[in-house]
């Protein structure tokens, strides 16, 4: 959807969100407020981060990319699946 994210800086969020690139990681209520206001006040930043987030999802988390990585894993570990 090309929407930037503000997420709590915990758990998997720290691995998924690239702070300042496709979203922000917030560690306090003040940071949440600051990052949300920054995104509200800066349309260019919202668009840039949103596009970066969409690219990341397509490259790393889409069905196609996950299937490709799974097939590569099977081929490399077990000799399954013919290489085309």
pLDDT value at residue 77: 80
Total count of domains within the chain: 1
Identify whether 73 is part of a domain: yes
pLDDT for res 16: 94
Residue 8: which region, alpha, beta or left (left: phi > 0; alpha: psi -120 to 50)? beta
How high is the pLDDT of residue 5? 96
- Model pTM? 0.76
Decide if 84 is inside a domain.
no
For residue 25, is it within any domain?
A: yes
Mean pLDDT by 10 residues, the chain (84 residues): 96 96 98 98 98 93 84 78 60
Tokens of 35: 């990052």
Q: So what's the pLDDT on residue 83?
A: 58
CATH number at residue 14: 3.40.50.2000
Identify the domain containing residue 49 by its residue range: 5-78
Check: CB of residue 41 under 8 Å from CB of residue 21: no
* Residue 83 domain-assigned (yes or no): no
Q: Residue 46 falls within a domain, yes or no?
A: yes
Residue 27 lies in a domain: yes
Query: What pLDDT shows up at residue 84?
Result: 58
For residue 39, is it within any domain? Answer: yes
């Amino acid at each position: 959807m090309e929407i930037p994210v503000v997420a709590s800086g915990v758990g998997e969020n720290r691995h998924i969100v690239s702070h300042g690139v496709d979203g922000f990681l917030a560690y306090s209520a003040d940071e949440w407020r600051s990052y949300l206001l920054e995104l509200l006040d800066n349309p260019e930043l919202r668009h840039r981060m949103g596009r970066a987030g969409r690219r990341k999802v397509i490259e790393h988390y889409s069905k196609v990319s996950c299937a490709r990585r799974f097939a590569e894993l099977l081929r490399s570990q077990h000799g399954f699946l013919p290489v085309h």
